[in-house]
């Protein structure tokens, strides 16, 4: 799987989560996005997510970018399998 495909898939998945939470009360959206990603994304996926966020990758829904502050950064030593595993 190419790096560009992984990038597109992560962005698409994060944006789908944001789209769902846009139907929730405004005060619950960011926490809901973060809770979902923290609960269901493997540490490797979150690591790739933060690489994209930190690099200023384009395409993320603004809610995803805001919610990033609430998403747990995985430990550097965690090698769990994610999208590329």
Give the pLDDT score at 79. 53
Q: Which residues of the chain have pLDDT under 50?
A: 81-82, 84-85
| Contact predicate 49/10, CB 8 Å | yes
- State the virtual CA torsion across 65, 44, 17, 37 in degrees, nearest 10: -90
Give the pLDDT score at 85. 44
Task: Read off the pTM.
Answer: 0.84
In this structure, what token pair is assigned to residue 56?
């200023």
In this structure, what token pair is assigned to residue 6?
């992984």
Give the pLDDT score at 1. 62
Integer Rg of the chain from CA: 12
Give the pLDDT score at 4. 86
| Contact predicate 31/24, CB 8 Å | no
Where along the chain do its domains lie?
3-70
């Amino acid at each position: 799987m190419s790096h560009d495909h992984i990038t597109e898939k992560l962005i698409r998945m994060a944006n789908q989560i944001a789209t769902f939470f846009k139907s929730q009360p405004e005060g619950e959206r960011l926490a809901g996005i973060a809770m979902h990603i923290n609960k269901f994304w493997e540490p490797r996926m979150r690591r790739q997510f933060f690489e994209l966020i930190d690099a200023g990758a384009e395409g993320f829904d603004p809610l995803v970018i805001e919610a990033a502050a609430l998403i747990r950064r995985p430990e550097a030593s965690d090698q769990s399998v994610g999208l590329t595993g």
